[in-house]
Structures are given as C-alpha cells and as structure tokens.
Amino acid sequence: MSLSSSNKSKRSIQALLLLALIAFGAIVVGCGSSDDDGGSGGSGGDKVQLVAYSTPQTAYEEGLEPAFNETDAGKGVSFSNSFGASGDQSRAVEAGQPAGYVNFALETDVTRLVDSGQVSKDWQDNKYKGIVTNSVVSIVTRPGNPEGVKSFQDIIDKDLEVVTPNPFTSGGARWNIMAIYGAAIHDGQTPDQALDTVKQILSQAPVQPASARDALQAFVGGAGDVLISYENEAIAAQNADQDVDYVVPDSTILIEQPAAVTVDAPKSATDFLDFLWSDEGQKIWAEQGYRPVNKSLVDESKFPTPKDEFTIAEFGGWDKVADEFFDDKTGSIAEVEKELGVSTEG
C-alpha cells in the first residue's frame, strides 16, 4: 500500500469513529436537538413550536428569535425549538411532533405536510413563493485550500476524500447531488455521464452523515479533504472561528429553503414568519451567511452570483426530481447508493 493510500485509509477509519461519536451525541441529547423549555422570549405570551432542518439553529437562537422578541408582535413570545436532518424532521411532524412553524431544506418536506393536512395548500401564495432564505452549494476546504479545488470535477481529478450527508435523511445532501449533477450537465455531459460523476464523488465519501450539520462537525473534526455543503454552513463555521475556507464553484445550484406555518399554529407563528421576510429579518439572515430572498438586500460583494448558477426548476422541480432521483426504491440515486453499500432508509 502506498503512503497516500495508507493516509487515506487512516482518515477513513478516523471519519467512521468520528461519525459514531456524533451519532452517540445525538442520541444522548435526544431526537432533533429539541429545546422544550423555549429558546428565547418570556413565558407570558404564545409559544412558537419551531421545527427546522439542522443548519439554521444558531441563526434562530442567537439572531432571529431574540430580534423578534424586541418587536411589538414578538413581545412575550417564547420558542420551543427542534433541529435535525430535514427529512427526519418533516416525517416527525407528519407523525405527530408538535409544530407551529416549520423550515426545511426542501420543498418536498413541506408538501409532505400539505398532503397530511398539517400545512395549508396555499402556503406558497406570497411574493417569495414560500422561500425564506437562499444559498448555494459550495466546497468547504482546509485553510488556504491546499488542494486548489475550484469545481466538483476537481474532487474527482484530484482523488480527494469528500464529506457529504446521506441524501435519504438530509435535504442538504440532495442539493449537493443536484449541484454536482447539474454542473456536469452544464459541462456537456449526458444524463448518464452526469450520474456517473455523482456516483464517483459519492464513492469518495467513506461516510455520509445524517445531516448537513453532522457533516460539518465531521469535517471540522478531521474527516475528509473537502466538504460539500451550503455556503451558509461554511460562513457559520468561519463565524465560529473554525479553521476552514470555502469555494463557490462557477457552476452550482441556487438553494431555495422553504418555511411555513401549520394550520393550527398560533398567530405568533405567522407573525414570526412575517418578521423573517421583513427587511430586518432578511438582514439578520444575511449576517448569518444566508442569501436574502429580497434581492434588493443582497450584498454582491459578500454574495456574488456564480457565473453559471442554475435552479432545481431546470430539472422539473423538486416533485419530479424527488421521484426520478430520490425515490428510495426506484430513484437513480437510490440505485447508486445501494451499489455503494449506503443505506437509503430515511
């Protein structure tokens, strides 16, 4: 075995051990990183039961919720927060976990609750079509980008070990895969060739954590050469003084993250969602590394538009993509993951 292969083998073993520790930590603290006592606000008003995907926890608890409590609508409102892998969170609400406000990584995780009658069919009938934040898929690197990575193809060409979550638990992982697939298509590959590109990159991931946040923790803990993740996750890591850099590929996908209130939510949940779309709320999102959906508030010096930015609509939207790529029995990515020995059970 070469020295390079030996080092990669050692990193793979370290990554597996690290993921085991992360999973154990999740079990210890309980399902979904819930905070049943409320994250902020007083005890005399309504409680917003917030259920969201893993990455915006800091944005909510340290920025958005305290700022909302300073408004007239938010005085006395408390929060009960639950964060975890997007698909897991959506299924938990469908199964009965209390929720008044939901924020997921994928539109399909909201439409699951529309189908169950827990979210109104008109949840997208607003100027932002139900999208509360934007981001892009980026490549997180070690300090100084020692491998010189600029694109998803570089991960293959340079034979890098990659960290990316499992697409059958994580919405962020699905965005990652569609970014890789779309960039390959835009580079002139056929659909089959693009799928092979996705498979090759996934084959270079010795572990696939349950969520985008778990994937970041694994990378920061030493797993992998690069991490494929939300741009906002990379910015959050830097804001937390984690020693990482990141690259936004010239060809990547625009991430659109939806939010909604449930049909039996208190008025405070609707007020909170309205606040998140306000100029004040959008500026706080931007401070936390998210691209505002209000285009007039996007700082191009911080959030430059990628040269070849595409959207999920190019591939038929999430309903079509979810069936073709991510159906756990017939989807093309399910077939890829099964060939790689990765679980496709959500």
241 with 212, same domain: the answer is: yes
Q: What is the pLDDT of residue 18?
A: 58
For residue 164, is it within any domain?
yes
For residue 329, tell me if it sits in a domain.
yes
- Residue 293 token pair: 């959906």
The per-residue pLDDT for range 285-329, each reduced to its tens digit, is: 999 999 999 999 999 999 999 999 999 999 999 999 999 999 999
- Residues 146 and 195 both lie in one domain: yes
Residues 23 and 139 in one domain: yes
Residues 189, 102 share a domain: no
242 and 181 housed in the same domain: yes
Instruction: Name the region of 343 (left: φ>0; alpha: ψ -120 to 50; beta: rest).
Output: beta
Q: Which of 202, 240, 247, 254 is nearest to 224 (CA)?
A: 202
Q: Which of 241, 286, 246, 256 is nearest to 172 (CA)?
A: 256
- Examine residue 345 and state whether it is found in any structural domain, yes or no: no
Domain presence at residue 344: no
User: Is residue 241 domain-shared with residue 273, that is, in the same domain?
Assistant: no
Quote the CA–CA distance of 55 and 241 in Å, as a whole number: 16
Q: 172 or 35: whose pLDDT is higher? A: 172
- Is the residue at 334 inside a domain? yes
* Domain co-membership, 69 together with 56: yes
Same domain? For 215 and 313 the reply is: yes
Provide Rg for the chain, Cα atoms.
19
| Dist. CA 139–CA 27, nearest whole Å | 29
- The SS3 of residue 46 is coil
279, 152: one domain: no
Does residue 150 register a pLDDT over 90? yes
| Band of pLDDT at residue 174, cut at 50, 70 and 90 | very high
Q: Does any domain span residue 346?
A: no
Q: Which CATH number does the domain housing residue 314 bear?
A: 3.40.190.10
Is the full-model pTM beyond 0.85? yes
Q: Structurally, how many domains does the chain consist of?
A: 2
Alpha carbon distance 117, 27 (integer Å): 30
The answer to whether residues 171 and 141 belong to one domain is yes
Query: Which residues, 6+ apart, have CB-to-CB distance to 127 below 8 Å?
Result: none
**What pLDDT, on the 0 to 100 scale, is given for residue 272?**
98
Q: CA dist 329 to 89, 107, 304, 346, Å?
A: 21, 20, 38, 12
If one counts every other C-beta atom within 10 angstroms of the C-beta of residue 63, the result is 17
C-alpha distances (whole Å) from 188 to each of 91, 181, 183, 184, 185 are 37, 11, 9, 7, 5
The boundaries of the domain holding residue 325 are 3-28+135-253+308-339
Name the pairing type of β-strands 47-53 and 101-103.
Answer: parallel
- Domain shared by 57 and 79, yes or no: yes
Band (pLDDT 50/70/90 cuts) for residue 27 is very low
Decide if 61 is inside a domain. Answer: yes
91 within domain boundaries: yes
Across 33-37, 241-245, 255-259, 300-304, least confident range: 33-37
pLDDT at 2: 41
Question: Which CA distances in Å does 70 have to 40, 103, 132, 177?
Answer: 11, 22, 20, 39
pLDDT in tens, 327-340: 999 999 999 999 99
Q: Are residues 191 and 313 in the same domain?
A: yes
